[in-house]
A and B are shown apart, each in its own frame.
Chain A
Amino acid sequence: SAVISQKPSRDICQRGTSLTIQCQVDSQVTMMFWYRQQPGQSLTLIATANQGSEATYESGFVIDKFPISRPNLTFSTLTVSNMSPEDSSIYLCSVGGGTLGDTQYFGPGTRLTVL
């Protein structure tokens, strides 16, 4: 399995500001993903974080709003830019591949509230 940490665990932010969420995993992994879980809903994939290159975004998500970095095989960041109340969600980092095989593991999540 994998031990995944996310920082911050929660935050309350003002409209128009940006927040960067960090994801750290305890082993080198092939794949890292960022998901969003809006209140009362299931998870939606935002993007796949690619090491050393631009992230691959899913339909409805764009780099200007959700810039992602992945400088190495164990770390990634997701920034939520120019936030609005609609961005209030739990943001989850997920990893898989490499020594983890096909199972996908999730971090504890970052609970974001935008006022």
Chain B
Amino acid sequence: EVQLVESGGGLVQPGRSLRLSCAASGFTFDDYAMHWVRQAPGKGLEWVSGISWNSGSTGYADSVKGRFTISRDNAKNSLYLQMNSLRAEDTAFYYCAKGRGSGHYQSLDFDYWGQGTLVTVSS
């Protein structure tokens, strides 16, 4: 059974940093691209970042470019999101999602999602 379990969310002050983790199991992690998608409370979905199977390529939404860094450790079946210079508008549930079809991240078909972790940026 595929499982994606996010952790690391919480309350953080504006300008500070936070690192999210996603533990994956039930599939061959290093065969697939992985993504982070966020959803502000009561709002729609926003793609945040994606990473290819071998970390060879990454992509970011304009809203987080230069502040967030996606990474993965295939030996640990884990995905990460380092979030720096956090802003109030980064407040959201952050979902880890598995790319369905291939190891390349340039596709928005996610066949498995985690349960999400809430990041609240407030003073």
The answer to whether A and B come from one shared complex is no
- Tell me the A residues contacting B by CB distance below 8 Å: none
